Copies of this chain bind each other. A is one copy, B any other.
Amino acid sequence: MTVTIVGLGLIGGSAARDLARTGLASVQIGVESDPDHLRTARQLGLIDRELALAEAVTAADLVILAIPVDAILRILPDVLDRITDRQTVVDMGSTKQMIVDAVRNHPRRARFVAAHPMAGTEDTGPAASREHLFASRIAILCDTADSAPDALATAERLFTTGLGMRLIRMDAARHDLNAAYVSHLPHILSYALALTTLAQERDDPSLFSLAAGGFTSTARLAKSDPAMWEPILKQNRHNLLAALGAYQEHIATLTKAIADDDPARIRALITEANRIRAFMA
């Protein structure tokens, strides 16, 4: 089938690589507003051709929106305006509630499948794209009762056959709440760690000479791009503020145990935190 990928960054570019490799896409059309990204995507051979959005949507069996969530909100209604009942639109945004709300009453709502592939890195742009980025990871499909069965089947083929993912269905509201805790909150704490250490580095330029694997893994997400992340934080702000409130309480509890010089309490808190092993690979 002909697949149009809107946004040839890390996610769109990586999808393009896998869809070509697995043969799910016979023709790949790219839509990319950033001239540098478009040039890189061409050089990397990620797409067969580029078109403007309107033409690219018309030409596709499947349209994939791999752009920041504010851009998804803005263009999704227009994309649905342009399609027929034989085409499918899938988004890959990190928030879901505002996006499904934006097209709730659209006449072509059933052609849309709201999705979130749980994969990515802290890097952006087509140069960061890679094969197998999605392999064996989870793709969340939201509010699937609002999608037509054939559109849903196409989306499922995209994520399973095309990208090698496993599927979970979940309400958009529940997705957004969970994503606040396990994806959006980790970004905030990593940004805060970066801000804290960068300020300290002004006092002692040797600070980062001590940074080892522990710092690298907790600060990695602080490299993440504002153009992608600011809209996510905005669209999921109510859930994220709840998660941040809970997180700040746990930080305060740990801080108090350290300030009180209370080894038994510290050991109990660490032992409880260690239970996370059961939920991690």
Residues of A within 8 A of B (CB): 118-121, 137-138, 140, 168, 170, 174-175, 177-179, 181-183, 185-201, 204, 206-226, 229-231, 233-234, 237, 240-241, 243-244, 246-248, 250-255, 258-259, 261, 263, 266-267, 269-277, 279-281
A77 to chain B, nearest CB (A): 21
CA distance A217 to B183 in the complex (A): 11
Contact in complex: A255, B274 (CB < 8 Å): no
Contact in complex: B277, A258 (CB < 8 Å): no
Contact in complex: A215, B186 (CB < 8 Å): yes
CA distance A119 to B183 in the complex (A): 27
Contact in complex: B182, A137 (CB < 8 Å): no
A263 to chain B, nearest CB (A): 5
CA distance A212 to B140 in the complex (A): 12
Task: Name A's interface SS.
Answer: helix
Apart from A118-B210, A168-B206, A182-B207, what 16 extra A-B contacts exist at CB < 8 Å?
A: A120-B212, A121-B213, A138-B212, A177-B204, A182-B197, A186-B218, A190-B273, A191-B270, A191-B273, A200-B246, A211-B279, A216-B280, A224-B274, A230-B267, A240-B258, A241-B258
Neighbour of A251 across the interface among B120, B188, B216, B218, CB < 8 A: B188
CA distance A280 to B118 in the complex (A): 24
CA distance A280 to B188 in the complex (A): 18
Contact in complex: A213, B119 (CB < 8 Å): yes
Contact in complex: A267, B226 (CB < 8 Å): yes
